[in-house]
Chains A and B, each alone.
Chain A
Amino acid sequence: MTPMQKLLQLPVNAVNMVKTVQSQVQGFQEEAKSPVLTPDGGQQTWYNALQPDELRQLRSAGGGGLGGGGGAGDQEERAPLEEGGGITSGQTQLLRHDDLKEMLDSNKDSLKLEAMKRIVAMIARGKNASDLFPAVVKNVACKNIEVKKLVYVYLVRYAEEQQDLALLSISTFQRGLKDPNQLIRASALRVLSSIRVTIIVPIMMLAIKEAASDMSPYVRKTAAHAIPKLYSLDPEQKDQLIEVIEKLLADKTTLVAGSVVMAFEEVCPERIDLIHKNYRKLCNLLIDVEEWGQVVIINMLTRYARTQFLNPNVNESLLEEGGGGGEKTFYGSEEEDEEDVEDKETKVEAAAMAKRKPYVMDPDHRLLLRNTKPLLQSRNAAVVMAVAQLYFHLAPKAEVGVIAKALVRLLRSHSEVQFVVLQNVATMTIKRRGMFEPYLKSFYIRSTDPTQIKVLKLEVLTNLANETNISTILREFQTYIKSMDKDFVAATIQAIGRCATNIGEVRDTCLNGLVQLLSNRDELVVAESVVVIKKLLQMQPEKHSDIIKHMAKLTDNIQVPMARASILWLIGEYCEHVPKIAPDVLRKMAKSFTNEEDIVKLQIINLAAKLYLTNSKQTKLLTQYVLNLAKYDQNYDIRDRARFIRQLIVPTDKSGALSKYAKKLFLALKPAPILESPFKDRDHFQLGSLSHLLNAKTGGYQELPDWPESAPDPSVRNVEQEEVISTGEGRIGLLGDWREVPEWTKCSSREKRKEKKVEKPFYSDSEGESGPTESADSESDSASGSESGSGSEESGSGSESEESEDGSESEADEEDEEEEKEKKKKKKRASIKPVQQSESEQSSEEEEERNSGKKSKQRKSDSESESESDEEDSESESSQSEAESEDSESEAEVKKKKKVTPAKPTCKPAKKEGKKEKKEMSLLDLDDFEPAPSPQVTPVSTFLSNSLVTDLEGLSLTDSVLAPATIAPSSAMKSYELLHRITGEGLSVEYCFSRQPFSPDPHMVAVQVQFTNSAGSEAKNLHMEETKLQSGMRVKEFPEIEVLPAGETATVVMGIDFCDSTQAANFQLCTHTRKFFVSIQPPVGELMTPAFMTENEFKKEQGQLMGMNEITERLKLGDRCQSDHAIVQRVAAAANLSRVPCGSDKECRFAGRTVTSGSLVLVTVATREEGAAQLTVNCEKMVIGTMLVKDVLLALTQ
């Protein structure tokens, strides 16, 4: 934009000229384009650079001024937008669009970008930019990432309107779906699924299915997001989408969980059966899911739990009703109705109780409550609210209290948050008043609160009022009455009225207070008081004739119609109590009748009629006078009423039977109005929901189901669930895939699975039966076994009660062993495979990519997951991704073992199909193969024969108490990467902690380093240099390797004294040509050596390491490490400790000494019922202790 152009303004009449010029310009542009196509690079750039400027000059010359039309600067751009409906606006807009088109057609990215920015700005302001569609869509393949992004924005906005043109862009996205980069795949899917064009539904479906089995969790997450999009576009796809959802629900990563549950809620919330098998996993993942996902999952689980578990409050509610009778008496007139209902309820419940065993909480129910509780500490108000409603709807009454504190905390948040929270608190306080009583003062009102908040707080305070705190509350109310905010004052008076009705003791006080308010100067206050007093008096009028008299006097002063009407009604209703005053009031009213408001007039007629009936002597004439006045009133209601009443009360010849009953009609005993909270019974809506807030069912609201009525036998339910799980998993694991997933994904998953199976033994070989992982699902058999065994024995306390577990425990053990055996068999069968694997590792990169795409993919996922766990060992989430690989196998096993074969018939034909397509698939697979990012850890390769290791192990560990299986020597051999093949230019180096004593220096940790030369040429003079160490640390270098021929491996041992810290040792690894900076960081478990002691010694030492040196942690054992075996194995894998014999079978003890200082490290794992356990670590070095606790915890809980 040149300054000259900025100065120029667009004259109205110039527009047409400009347009003609522009068409010329376009012609010119077309001409100009042809040389652009020539291969001459220099010329091309020249054109590009010149074109826009030249054009502008041309045009500005032709138009005589083109500021607005040019629209290239911000100033000009904004001007036409603000013009609104001027004559020129339409034309200038057209003009500007032409200009934008031109910019979009140019070859310069910066121009395109500028144009796109302006277009997006137009969209943001809600201006129509749809006519630019053809010009924009062309740029969808633009290389510039920024332009591309903005084009996507545009596409998503306008594709619906220009369906045909939008199709042009599809191929770009399809290409994007195959990109090796997961982020690009994800964004392609995201945009593709956001384009609401019905024709591409099949393409979207394919893309979603493919992405659902993508190896990147991020892409899978995007797929989950895409499901509801497709569903809203074409609900007919529901069945297929449910299949995808089912598949994604089984996903083990936290990234996916929230999104897929969201999709579940939108597409098939009624398919609660899909949740069964994922329930425990979701519970366990919950804390690590991102906050928005947490909200969705918790809300869904609330609904789920309502269908699956028993009401934990059955017992309590019975007790409560018995004791609650005393409380109920305050409820005045409500009393009768409520008690009726409650009586019925009580009876029903009592009947049910008679049949039922004492309540025992389902362990799954407990799991949900336990795992959601920490989320009350979330910073996100929505999460806190979600947990709160879950507790409110699901928790035993005694435990609901914990949510109060968190909800009160939210009251410090933004006023909108307060608004919603208070609404929910108001509902809760009706059912569970005691919960919020300690926080009464937090609901006190400040003068600066917005009115709607004040009113809600008032509601809560009123609900919380009882005879003990009423005096404080009333004192507080007194200050509120003085507020400037009149709506609030009115609400306060009503609140006082409600307190008075509910709490008998203060009724008189309240009434007196309200009567005092009658002399308030503010009319609104007086009027509201009158109305409330009227309601109160209706309860016991005979006592309060003096108040009625007082109010009668007020008729002279009060002008608010509602208040006057209320007073008149009162006097009429209780005219017997004020026989002298009533006629006088009527006299006064008759005098002012014509000036009164309609509502007051009606009440005057009413009063007259009642007086006529009770005291006709004095009031006959007055009544007739009033009726006559009313007869000629302007308002037909009043005329009608007068006519009607005259007929009714004045006996004439014609008047029928009705007039006999006039007295009964008018002076019937009227029930006192019920003053109750508007929040009563709102809790049949799920709290925290929009429906609850609006007190009306909204679209898409899922009713909160009632608790299952008849108590389902828990063991039956468990078995049932087990079956569901096993069949479901079977489907997912092996059979289902063929049936459910389209052909082209079937194979890939099938193949992957096959691979996993093959690899699994390799894993389990190295890490023993347990491995570091545990799937939440596969626990079902062992866990449910113990559950069903114990269920009947548990006492009815509702909390996790003690139980004798011997029987169930051993059951689980047996099962475990069985599983183990099976696994071992498998291992043997497939024990050749690992070798191949390690070979492939050494093979050159290209080869690998070509031949073993799948393999490396597999490996990558392994390494990915493991590196995760490495990065943050304390974060439990990593376990989930690790679990992935092992899961399918165990699932399959479960299936086999159970011999549950509902899916079997489909199995065979599907298998064939799968095989047929295997080849096609691998081709496709290559497409989205992604080069593995440099993995930090690769699975252990089998270069060291396991036998050797065990041999060595045998030398150092002589404790005969230990069964050979209890120590997992190979798991200690988990190897870490020191130098990656690529960075090392063909030289890859791995190290592992061999757990051997380092003979040259006993204070050093032995590190076994393995060099693999996969480069083309030999490496020479491998040695280390320049160690950079923290103070105190020492390194014993390994002997130099003189020559390492291509393709060979060599292993050396070095010693490092880590000074009992997990600081890394840094040094340089040198070859004859290069130097590499590397570092070795030990896991804390490797900093110790086993120590041998007796039980007594152990106890003695432990006794000395109490207090600060003892760290105790409660944990829930992962379901696959319930047995002693597993525990020992896992602890041994996590730390280099030896087992100490122990008399109790409920405890496992381990001992060791740190390598450098020889400080004792004692670990005790005491198992409790139901997989609960307590881990105690005693260690002189507190840092080591805490870190070790973390590691062991992680190992045990997975």
Chain B
Amino acid sequence: MQDLPKVWAEERIARSSLGKKSFGPWDAVLTQQILCRLLTGHSSSSPALTRVCTTDPILQEQSVPARIPTGSSSPRPCAPRLHGRYHEMAPNVVPMDYTKDPDVKLPMQLIINMPELKENPFKERIVESFSEDGEGSLSFNDFVDMFSVLSEMAPRELKAIYAFKIYDFNTDNFICKADLEKTLNKLTREELTAEEITLVCEKVIEEADMDGDGKLGFADFENMISKAPDFLSTFHIRI
């Protein structure tokens, strides 16, 4: 009779030696599974997608491992929609098969033309704050990241972190007056007069600045946004 820990140990070891083969950063299967879960918020929010996703989960689950040995990235019901969106922006650049090709990035210009982002006054900032290089080009990873944060299921804290990044135009980890002015100009399409803008900016700093340094740190921002009644309802995108 062997004791259980031993058995598990064996198993572990066996797994570790085997697992490596399929543990590249772009393990297609894994990605799909994870994306699917990470994006459950999205998956159920869009009617078209929900139709696919809310089919019997058991069936889904059974069908998934069956595909694994084939090694193809034939999509799981949830993730592929997002990947499809990513793919359709640049069908020539983005491969459908991610098993070996890890590094594809789409430039900002393509992404901000998505209908979900097109009308957003902060679209450039959104894309920039989610891109790894800060330049605005998104890998599929970043892309998924973006929509996962903007999904309905993402918690307030996470959203606050990224909202702060978005409104921090000069990326100095503070929202200063210049950032506020930019935000305001984007929000109102520059229809306010200069005095009005300065008034509003002063008021914002006066209201939210807790430590009195004349600009909003993340703590100030989070404190303010955590009390906002409709931050959660407005800071999300359905895809």
Are chains A and B native binding partners rather than an unrelated pairing? no
Which A residues lie at the B interface, using CB under 8 A?
Answer: none
Which B residues lie at the A interface, using CB under 8 A?
Answer: none
